[in-house]
């Protein structure tokens, strides 16, 4: 009985160490991407030590990535603010980030509910842009969401739809297939669209 208990403890310890390593790896990548969000030729600083997740937070690569991404955005904003203050005697800072990015970096990195709400708002804006037939901005916004939640089927689908309407069929197929893979609600419809694009039927109808 004692040997069994010791073995159980060892397995549990190894599993915990693995999940924490996964979390820290995600945090490292997320921080770099968040820091360089919307910056061309950006080099991110060395990511800080990942904070321990709050109680109740699932410890995995995705949660680590989300935490790192949002902290990276916050640190990037502070660095920009400091540089702008240094370059302007009046100390005023005008952000170049659009409103959709602004609400993302204000999210509490340990609050999964706040993050989910921010992503929900982002999706709502993307859908509104689709209704306005503003497909490029719809795509840009959806791609920002993908950086935070790479396997979100709704965001993947929004990217795919935007690419379809921009007639970038190669990227459209890539994102639509990923949306299907990660469980899109309307997977059957998306498969039909994918098949039509691959067969050329969709393009033929568009060009008539």
Cα 49 from chain centroid?
21
What pLDDT was estimated at residue 111?
Answer: 63
Q: How far apart are CA 158 and CA 178, in angstroms?
A: 11
pLDDT in tens, 162-178: 999 999 999 999 999 99
User: E strand or H helix at 174, and its extent?
Assistant: helix 169-181
pLDDT in tens, 101-153: 455 555 555 566 777 778 888 888 998 888 888 999 999 999 988 888 889 99
Residues in the chain: 208
Architecture of the domain made up of 111-208:
Alpha Horseshoe (1.25)
Q: How far apart are CA 141 and CA 126, in angstroms?
A: 6
What pLDDT was estimated at residue 57?
Answer: 63
91: left (phi over 0), alpha (psi -120 to 50) or beta: left
Mean pLDDT of 16-33: 70
Delimit the CATH 1.25.40.10 region(s) of the chain.
Answer: 111-208
Would the CA dihedral through 109, 174, 32, 88 be positive or negative?
negative
The string of DSSP letters for 139-197 reads HHHHHHHHHH-TT-HHHHHHHHHHHHHTT-HHHHHHHHHHHHHTT-TTHHHHHHHHHHH
Tokens of 104: 């993302």
Alpha-carbon Rg for the chain in angstroms: 21
> pTM, whole model, 2 decimals?
0.54
Share of the chain above pLDDT 90, in %: 24
pLDDT category of residue 67 using cuts at 50, 70 and 90:
confident
């Amino acid at each position: 009985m004692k040997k069994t208990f010791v073995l159980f403890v060892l397995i549990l310890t190894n599993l915990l160490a693995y999940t924490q390593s996964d979390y820290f790896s995600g945090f490292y990548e997320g921080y770099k991407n968040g820091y360089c969000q919307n910056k061309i030729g950006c080099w991110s600083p060395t990511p800080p030590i990942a904070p321990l997740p709050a109680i109740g937070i699932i410890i995995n690569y995705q949660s680590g990535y989300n935490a790192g991404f949002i902290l990276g955005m916050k640190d990037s904003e502070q660095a920009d603010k400091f540089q702008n203050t240094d370059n302007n005697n009046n100390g005023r800072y005008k952000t170049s980030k659009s409103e959709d990015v602004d609400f993302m970096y204000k999210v509490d990195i340990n609050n999964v509910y706040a993050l989910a709400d921010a992503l929900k708002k982002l999706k709502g804006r993307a859908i509104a842009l689709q209704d306005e037939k503003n497909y490029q901005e719809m795509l840009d916004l959806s791609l920002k969401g993908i950086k935070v939640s790479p396997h979100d089927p709704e965001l993947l689908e929004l990217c795919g739809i935007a690419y379809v309407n921009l007639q970038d069929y190669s990227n459209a197929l890539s994102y639509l297939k990923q949306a299907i893979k990660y469980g899109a609600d309307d997977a059957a419809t998306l498969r039909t669209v994918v098949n039509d694009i691959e067969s050329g039927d969709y393009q033929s109808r568009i060009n008539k």
